Amino acid sequence: MPLIKVTCQACGIDGELNNNIELDEEADFFMCHSHTDYSGAEVHALFCFSCGSINAASLDSKEELKYLLTYKLDGLDLEKWCIEKKVSSIAIKKLKKHHYLE
């Protein structure tokens, strides 16, 4: 799978992802599946470790991201979001290390 180019729509930092948290442990982002939108497109959530924003984006057939919206969650809301999106334990550990989660 090719690397996915990511740019945080809130702070502008960019990076490349394998879409695999185990491979992307040092990256400034992690990506997880968010939901399927009305048109059937898979929407992914990209968490930016630099500013704590979540970028919702769909991945097109050329593995390019189309950004939909950017939002921020904190504390309990972020914790709930992680459970809802089934965020991996590696990503949770990293969120804690960066003090986005208690």
Q: In angstroms, rounded to a whole number, what is the distance separating the alpha carbons of residues 67 and 58?
A: 7
Task: Give whole-number Cα distances, 94 to 16, 20, 70, 89, 91, in Å.
Answer: 17, 14, 20, 9, 5
Q: In angstroms, rounded to a whole number, what is the distance separating the alpha carbons of residues 24 and 74?
A: 22
Residues 51-70 that bind Zn ion (CB under 5 A): 51, 53
Q: In degrees rounded to 5, what are phi and psi of residue 18?
A: -90, -5
Contact present, 7 and 14 (Cβ < 8 Å)? yes
Which is nearer to Zn ion, 93 or 98 (by Cβ)? 98
CB of 10 to Zn ion, least distance (A): 5
Which is nearer to Zn ion, 8 or 31 (by Cβ)? 8
The piece of 3-11, 29-37, 38-46, 88-96 that touches Zn ion (CB under 5 A) is 3-11
Binding characters for Zn ion, 12-51, by CB under 5 A (x = yes): ------------------------------------x-xx
State the residues that interact with Zn ion by CB under 5 A: 8, 10-11, 48, 50-51, 53
